[in-house]
Structure 1
Amino acid sequence: MFTIKSLTPVALAVTAALTSQHAWSNELNTDKSSDEMEVIVVTSDFRQSSLDKMPSSITVIDQQQIEDEGAQHFEDLLNSVANFNWSGGSSRAKYFQIRGVGEQEEYQGAPNSSVGYIIDDIDMSGLGMIASMYDLQQVEVLRGPQGTRYGANALAGLIYLKSNDPTDVFEHGAEVSLGDDQLTTFSGFSSGPLTDSGKLLYRVSLQQHQQNGYRDNLYLDRDDTNSRDEFSGRVKLRWYATDDLAIDLSVLHADFNNGYDAWTLDNNGFDTLTDAPGVDKQRTTGGSLKFTYSGAEAFELVSLSSFAQSDTHHGYDGDWANPDYWAARVCEGAPCQYDYTWDKVGDRQTMSQEFRLSSTEAGRLFNNSTDWLVGVYGMKLDEDNDTNEFYNGWGDALTAEYSATNLALFGQLDSDLGRGYALSVGMRVERRDSEYSDSDGDGFEPSETMWGGHIALSKALSDNHESYFRLARGYKAGGFNMSLPVELSDKKEFEAETLYNYELGIKSVWLEGNASTNFSLFYMDRRDQQVSASQQNPLEPQKFILYTENAGSSHNYGAELEGNWYATDNLKVYGTLGWLETAYGDYEYQDKYGGTVDLTGRELAHSPNFTYSAGTTYRTDSGWFANLTASGKSEFYYSDSNDSKSDPYTIFNARIGYETDVWSAYLWGRNLFDEQYGVRGFYFGNEPDIDWADKQYIRFGDPRQLGVTVNVKFM
């Protein structure tokens, strides 16, 4: 239920919007000019280049698509990105895979992401669940290594969320959504100048989202043990301090207080039996401060500082049932006794500082043909974790401390070679020093120097077709495994992974500018591939041994196609298609019985061969609106440690409504045909009454949901 405390910030924003004396004069996308194709700028790029000129495979989901599809969380947009997947081991999507490379979970060990995740220049890699889509300008997904720009946390690619900036005129808005599963979402924003001179601007956006989480706990007679209780708030200030100095401050606060009761022994999907439902919480406060100085003739100076403090809590009922359930079953001639819970509390703090100089038009090199950029970057990360396991009255606790310092130098040259050719060359050298210790006596101090970068050659084939070839090298730091048994002592540490990505693409405009396509082919050469492995202890089945190790080289390849077509002034059609082939290198491991499992050549986990999406939006001149989308995936392996697979699936969403200059109202439905689809799977023994026999268990995604949304905007 809502509390007065949780609703107060949103209520203030909504009240401010509704009582504004200024009527909004802009039209809400009801004239045909709002549907004309526009230049999309990639804000995560050093120079904020246009998407059609970027020599790389990038998906940009703009604010219009976010609003048309009614996306509330990044999870609602995942299937719109080709060759992108996620692992549903948490209440919200936070473990991502791009082109088959990424994480599936992080139960222990030091943070070491393959997919970077950044919100308004605040690095949240590995903590991606706080991803409200309200008042967001766009979502950017960059595929392939981003070694020059982002370094060690972007081996597979990067997710960048950019919220709307402050405006120089007053804008206010409020939105309410209601739906089944007891869904209620209250949102509001306000933006405008704080001074008469217009040199100091602000923007505030707030959202409170709640729903029960689609699970009925039959044992506790509750329907909210898997609930979502999520608050997100952003504040932005922009100060034009002088004609040559702009200062941008972004502050983010998110408090996600979610339940985690998602697994069942009989795989029925939505009726749980736990007596101690889990939690999945994250409370983050962070900010970024950006100074942009343009007073020098030959260069622009940017200083970017960021800070984030995150408190996390993830826990679950590991026996997935209750004492009464187990006591009614027989284990070795007696009532079963099985009670297991797992709980982890984390505290992460990150601070970073970047300085970079980039050339102006007057500062170009080589006969005014080449832009240049150089920079230095530093980051300090500290994380403490307390992990507790309880099994039949017996407890085991582990306290761990980790710190890492990263220092990097980077540079980039972008040259116009003439005759339609352009060349981009970038490089980054990064040093990481880290330190780890825990209450079991483990301690490591690994340090390493890594490098990455890119070479990209593009060619304008005509005014409407831009081709490119890109070679990028990415890197991911090595690390260590904590609290391993003696028989796995040789796996205490693992090496850094490198990835070479070869990409060929063409970006085109068709039909007199009414249609566009982006197509890319890629080949990835992974060396010292890091693999997450696990073993169930046959003597203590409730316990798992989790560790990371290096496999041999492996190769992923495939293609991505994205398209947009403005068929008429009122009708837009868009879609994506991804094809992906993945394989392990030379990799074998020992199962819990001592047998050898050979995964050499097998496809990687959470790497479907095909991902696809299609959507259409229709707006009438009189204000009626409709959006229909379909998206899906082919089958994929759930895990690196077994051969269980998902089923292929397709999900349909729809949204219809009526829009005016000031207010809009919509009816919407997600997963219209109530498709039952798996987002995470395990294959292990978790039932003592069948002698801990291995069995596949599946966590399913959200079922059908229907609702209504009303919003108002004023100026």
Structure 2
Amino acid sequence: MSLFKSKSPLAVAILAALSTSAVAQTENIERVAPNAEKMEVIVVNADFSGVELEKVPSSVTVIDSQQLQDEGAQHFEDVLNSIANFNWSGGSSRPKYFQIRGVGEQEEYQGAPNSSVGFIVDDIDLSGIGMVSSMYDMQQVEVLRGPQGTQYGANALAGLIYLKSNDPTDVFEHGAQVSLGDDDLQTFSGFSSGPLSDSGKLLYRVSLEQHSQNGYRDNTYLEREDTNARDEFTARAKLRWYAAENVQLDLTLLHANFDNGYDAWTLDNNGFETITDKPGVDSQKTTGVGFKAIFSQFDTFELTSLTSYAQTDHHHNYDGDWANPDYWASKECPAYDENWAVIGTEPCVYDYTWDKQGDRKTISQEFRISSNDAGRIFNDSTDWLVGLYGMNLQEDNDLYSEYNGWPDEVLVSEYEATNYAIFGQTDTQFGDGYVFSAGLRLERRESEYSDSNGDEFSPSENMWGGHLAISKVLTDDHNAYFRIARGYKAGGFNMTLPPELSDKKEFDAETLYNYELGLKSTWLDGDVATNVAVFYMDRQNQQVSASQQDPDDQQRFILYTENAGSAKNYGAEADFNYYATENIQFYGSVGWLETEYGDYQYNDKYGNVIDLTGRDQAHAPKFTYSAGMSYVSDSGWFTNLNASGKSDFYYSDSNESKSDAYTIFNARIGYESQMWSAYLWGRNLFDEQYGVRGFYFGNEPDLDWADKQYVRYGDPRQLGITLDVKFM
């Protein structure tokens, strides 16, 4: 039950606090914004080189630990709207399907994963299964836009999301955090870090978080409020051993168990009151390990070895009729004779469930050699690196659906993909502040698939990507760059297609050319930092996810991927950070995106040809925006206000269903000291109802399976309190 509806003391306290400004002025504490002489230096970690953000010739967004703390982010879902030209598809209990500049997946129902957007957590590859992304004890979130892969192992067509948690420290520090809120929210977190030896050569860090809440759904049929609940546990551990003067060994362990419900859809689109009799689940249990070894004892180069392994059990289940037997029995459906002629009506009988369980294993190995200062070539002008990369992904899936007590879709599948790549990059310093960067990646991909329906595929292909970039230091405060990058995504296959779609059994690789011009600047003696980029993307052989409802079997959907000619995506993004005073910070971002399909037509379930040539692509809003303000008084009183939003966008590649534009407002106020902090917070303060996923199809037999738009909505208003303590 909402705190607003219950008029609880917690609700009254939070509302009163959010309506006032905390501006007391007393003794100073050590949480102040950097001044002009000590402007914060943001480092990008995704490529392991620790390059300063303003020197990266590419569009990158970094959300640091201070913004994560100021906004009270608990999960990646809480910060993703702050990223320009970024979107996600809400077909799961937590975001795990992402789009960067309009490129990415909306779902993955079949058993052959191949993500356009990379998702890495502490060097462990979780692409396509990124829902286990707690923000507790996180150092920063990085989003690299455009093709990636010439400076590190993993390839990414659209871009890369990199989450880096805090590293071990050489002094002891410990902390704990508790959050309580409406929707029965309870979050308990804690961390410990410090040396394990007197010499300080062996360090550790451990963080734990248990998060639970009801999930904002009231199932009136079962009289339950927890059918869409979140029950999420995350544990991270890091060991750092300075084995020798020039040898650093890092061991990272990750375990996440997200045992969430899934009861998100309603027939009448009312949003938060469901009537299902068999609410679903959306769970993911991931155990991962990463081992990084850095050897810097060589005269001219540094050797890095990175090994990672992740094992994931995931389970997605839902009540496909979105109702219950009593509801359907109260409806009248057409009655047919033996020749399927309508002879009257009868009570509806409709019961459908869908269930998929998967087991994924991913192992990768990367070796990279990068030059040090003494190893520069061409008269000490050029830094260089070369690398080898290998990855093996295996996924077994068990899919079962049932219609009115009878098996409908049954599929047991096995999939394996192996990638081998060699990559390299040079960065050459010319005179007058010019830097020229060139990178190349060559990759071989081999895959095998088989299933219980007799489909077998074993495609293999060679692919290449790379980039050319030139940057110029215009002045001490302005750095411009131009970058051309080529990315790729392997082709694949479609399983379990009917004979009339046999020509769509396989599809080709997609190639993306990205042209980007950017300017990274500081202003007002360093108090303002801005990053601006304009881009044009040429998608050749664009891969499109199509779906078609079977008119003779309305519960069955035919899902397949096909190529849609050449598509265009272009636009711009900008972000800024402004320290108005030592106590007040403003920040924000804006994205503009234009997309269109190339030559693309598809057939609807009645065989009609639908032409999408020139239409906007799915999950690609034209505008994304965010703005925030943090204030901390000298005495420790704190306020953060932030807002983010999107323009409308199409939900699918296969229909005209669209979202509505929306803006969400959040607030967080409290008191901070060196040892403890307390906050009152509110998310989605004005209770905006906004769609995060939509479908357009027939799911109601009493309407003779008439097509209709169905929308899943994002989280409504939530209020809570947080207490944070630290020990040294």
**Partner residue of 2:196?**
194
Q: Which residue of 2 aligns with 1:346?
A: 358
Give the corresponding residue for 2:559. 546
Indicate the SS of the match to 1:258. Answer: strand
Cα distance in 2, alignment partners of residues 149 and 202 from structure 1: 28
* TM alignment of 1:304-703, pairs within 5 A: 304-332=306-334, 333-395=345-407, 396-703=409-716
Change in CA separation of 1:35 and 1:711 when aligned onto 2, cut-off 3 Å: farther
Structure 2 distance, partners of 1:654, 1:130, is: 25
Runs of 4+ in 1 over 4 A off after TM superposition: 30-36, 150-153
Equivalent in the alignment of 2:128? 126
**1:481, CA displacement in angstroms?**
0.5
Q: Which residue of 2 aligns with 1:707?
A: 720
Contact persistence 1:109–1:482 (CA under 8 A): no
Distance 1:126 1:32 in 2: 37
- Is 1:270 matched with 2:282? no
Contact in 1 for aligned 2:29/2:635 (Cα 8 Å): no
8 A contact 1:305–1:352 mirrored in 2: yes
Q: Secondary structure at the match of 2:244?
A: coil
Q: Which one-letter code corresponds to 2:358 in the other structure? A: G
CA 1:152–1:32 in 2, change beyond 3 Å: closer, same or farther? Answer: closer
Unaligned runs of 5+ in 1: 1-25
TM (normalized to structure 2)?
A: 0.94
In structure 2, C-alpha distance between the alignment counterparts of 1:318 and 1:32, rounded to whole Å: 53
In structure 1, the residue matched to 2:23 is none
- Displacement, 1:249? 0.5
Q: Which moved more, 1:388-397 or 1:50-59?
A: 388-397
Counting aligned pairs with the same residue, the percent is 73
Is it true that 1:212 corresponds to 2:225 in the alignment? no
The answer as to whether partners of 2:547 and 2:559 remain within 8 angstroms in 1 is: yes
Q: Which residue pairs with 1:21 in the alignment?
A: none
Q: Compared with structure 1, are the counterparts of its residues 35 and 415 closer, same or farther at alpha carbon in structure 2 (3 Å cutoff)?
A: closer
Give the secondary-structure state (helix, strand or coil) at the position aligned to 2:503.
helix
User: What secondary structure does 2:553 align onto?
Assistant: coil
Point out the more displaced range, 389-398 or 612-621: 389-398
Aligned equivalents of 1:428 and 1:384: distance in 2? 29
Q: Deviations over 1:583-636 (max 9, x none)?
A: 001000111000000000000011000000000000000000000001000010
Q: Secondary structure at the match of 2:43?
A: coil
TM superposition shift of 1:149: 3.7
Whole-angstrom CA distance in 2 between matches of 1:158 and 1:666: 32
Q: TM-score, normalised by structure 1?
A: 0.95
3-state SS of 1:582 partner: strand
Deviations 1:304-346 (A, max 9, x none): 0000000000010000000110011111111101000000000
**Secondary structure at 1:267 match in 2:** coil
Relative to structure 1, is the Cα distance of residues 149 and 593 closer, same or farther in structure 2, using a 3 angstrom cutoff?
farther
Counterpart residue number, 1:279: 281
Return the offset for 1:152: 6.8
* CA positional deviation for 1:46: 4.2
Relative distance call for 1:487 and 1:31 in structure 2 (3 A) is closer
Counterpart amino acid of residue 429 in structure 1? L
Letter in 2 for 1:47: S
The separation in 2 between residues aligned to 1:45 and 1:547, in whole angstroms, is 34
Checking the alignment, whether the CA contact within 8 Å between 1:35 and 1:566 is kept in structure 2 is: no
Q: Which amino acid aligns with 1:257?
A: D
Structure 1 residues 519, 334: CA separation in 2 closer, same or farther (over 3 Å shift)?
same
Instruction: Please give the alpha-carbon distance, in whole angstroms, between the structure 2 residues aligned to 1:153 and 1:435.
Output: 20
Deviation at 1:47?
A: 1.8
Q: Provide, for residues 209-233 of structure 1, a one-character-per-residue CA deviation record: whole Å limited to 9, x for no partner.
A: 0000000001100000000000000
Q: What whole-Å deviation, never above 9, does each CA across 1:65-95 have from its counterpart, x for those lacking one?
A: 0000000000000110000000000000000
Distance 1:617 1:375 in 2: 42
Note closer, same or farther for the CA distance 1:346–1:545 as it changes in structure 2 (3 Å cut): same
| Per-residue deviation, 1:147 | 3.3
Residues 627-677 of structure 1 show CA distances to partners (whole Å, capped at 9, x for unaligned) of 000100001001111111111000000000001111100000000000000
Rounded to whole Å, the distance in 2 between the matches of 1:596 and 1:447 is 32
**1:397, distance to aligned residue in structure 2 (A):** 1.5
Find the aligned partners of 1:484 and 1:153 in 2 and give their Cα distance: 29
**Contact conserved, 1:524 with 1:556, CA < 8 A, in 2?**
yes
Tell me how far apart the structure 2 counterparts of residues 34 and 326 of structure 1 sit (CA, whole Å): 66
- In the alignment, what sits opposite 2:143? 141
Q: Which one is further off, 333-342 or 31-40? A: 31-40
Please tell me whether residue 223 in structure 1 is matched to residue 236 in structure 2.
no
* Structure 1: distance between partners of 2:609 and 2:189: 54
Deviations 1:152-209 (A, max 9, x none): 7510000000000000000000000000000000000000000000000000000000
Structure 1: distance between partners of 2:588 and 2:64: 14
Equivalent pairs counted in the alignment come to 690
| Whole-angstrom CA distance in 2 between matches of 1:471 and 1:363 | 27
| 1:109 shift after superposition | 3.3
Q: Which amino acid aligns with 1:422?
A: V
